[in-house]
């Protein structure tokens, strides 16, 4: 068993190796249609901002949310997250492939996926603090060892991507999909875990009726719960995945990729109404306007 000193050193080395390699979701394949993720290092500087299904964040360093921020809005969809202005349409039972630009092997941990209904407010304008999330997929320790094999390793092996399925029995409506990796390389001590949540807007269709109550984002985790404080260098034989229990879930699927029907990142659906155009002036008002313009030109000449 490694000593406390050696385990601390291993965690420090893992952190140093991954400091420049933390990732973000670069694209999301929704039943064959590919959408761009949000790149916080470049998107704020776009001359023509894109309409995305991915929520924006200020995590330009690809950084994390620490356990001491679990009670803040940052844990919901990452740091200073703002609503995406578009959404992707998907059917209950469809699969979604979520691709990260990169993920460091040293940052081992679980992969967790949740949904939250946006209700009548719509996901483009819903207050994130009111969203109640319920798990639809989770994976943790795959093979015991020091440090062992975790869901994050399967994600890396799957071309840095994770495949999920929307539950067939879920109630149709607008939802935020919350996808997250929790890195445990420094979790042997309090406030050492690193959460990397990413959010996307979906409009789910189908004939299901299930809608679990869910948990507010700021109440999903406790900073001292098992699975947040966890020593992966002690050859554990099990891992308690943190957060609320699963109340609805899709069938267990084998990790893989989806065929891309749309090769280029698709333009998501927008729910915001276009700005109203003013009707053209007619009749007497239009004539008076024309006379005024002619008079102004005469004064200038």
Our CA angle for 246, 252, 253, nearest 5°, is 140
Our CA angle for 128, 215, 110, nearest 5°, is 95
For residue 270, what pLDDT is reported?
Answer: 78
The tokens for 52 are: 């995305």
Percent of the chain scoring above 90 in pLDDT: 75
Whether the predicted pLDDT of 196 surpasses 50: yes
For residue 4, what pLDDT is reported?
Answer: 45
CB 156 within 8 A of CB 105: yes
The position carrying tokens 């916080």 is 40
CA 102 to chain centre: 15
Taking the whole predicted model, whether its pTM rises above 0.75 is answered as: yes
Percent of the chain scoring above 70 in pLDDT: 82
Give pLDDT tens digits for 257-287.
Answer: 998 887 667 778 876 544 444 444 444 444 4
For residue 1, what pLDDT is reported?
Answer: 43
For residue 264, what pLDDT is reported?
Answer: 65
Fold of 4-300: Coagulation Factor XIII; Chain A, domain 1 (2.70.50)
For residue 146, what pLDDT is reported?
Answer: 96
Confidence of residue 215 (pLDDT cuts 50, 70, 90): very high
How confident is the model over 123-143, as a mean pLDDT? 98
CB 8 within 8 A of CB 72: no
For residue 58, what pLDDT is reported?
Answer: 98
Give pLDDT tens digits for 43-85.
Answer: 999 999 899 999 999 999 999 999 999 999 999 999 999 999 9
Whether the predicted pLDDT of 136 surpasses 60: yes
Whether the predicted pLDDT of 297 surpasses 70: no
């Amino acid at each position: 068993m490694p000593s406390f000193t050696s385990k601390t050193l291993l965690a420090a080395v893992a952190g140093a190796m991954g400091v420049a390699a933390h990732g973000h979701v670069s694209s999301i394949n929704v039943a064959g249609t590919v959408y761009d993720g949000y790149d916080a290092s470049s998107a704020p500087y776009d001359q023509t901002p894109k309409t995305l299904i991915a929520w924006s964040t200020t995590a330009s360093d690809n950084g994390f949310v620490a356990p001491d921020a679990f009670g803040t809005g940052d844990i919901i969809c990452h740091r200073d997250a703002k609503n995406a202005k578009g959404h992707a349409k998907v059917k209950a039972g469809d699969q979604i492939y979520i691709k990260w630009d990169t993920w460091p092997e040293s940052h081992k941990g679980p992969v967790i996926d949740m949904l939250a209904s946006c209700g009548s407010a719509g996901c483009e304008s819903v207050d994130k603090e009111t969203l109640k999330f319920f798990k639809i997929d989770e994976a943790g320790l795959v093979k015991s060892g020091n440090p062992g094999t975790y869901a994050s390793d399967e994600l890396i092996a799957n071309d840095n991507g994770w495949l999920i399925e929307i539950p067939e029995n879920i109630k149709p409506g607008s939802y935020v999909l919350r996808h997250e990796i929790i890195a445990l390389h420094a979790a042997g001590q309090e406030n050492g875990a690193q959460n990397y949540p990413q959010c996307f807007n979906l409009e789910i269709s189908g004939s299901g009726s299930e809608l679990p109550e869910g948990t507010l984002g700021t109440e999903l985790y406790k900073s001292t719960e098992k699975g947040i404080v966890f020593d992966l260098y002690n050859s554990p034989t099990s891992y308690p995945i943190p957060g609320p229990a699963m109340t609805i879930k899709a069938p267990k699927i084998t990790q893989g990729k989806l065929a891309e029907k749309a090769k280029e990142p698709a333009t998501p659906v927008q729910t915001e109404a276009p700005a109203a155009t003013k009707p053209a002036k007619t009749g007497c008002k239009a004539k008076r306007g024309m006379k005024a313009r002619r008079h102004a030109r005469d004064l200038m000449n």
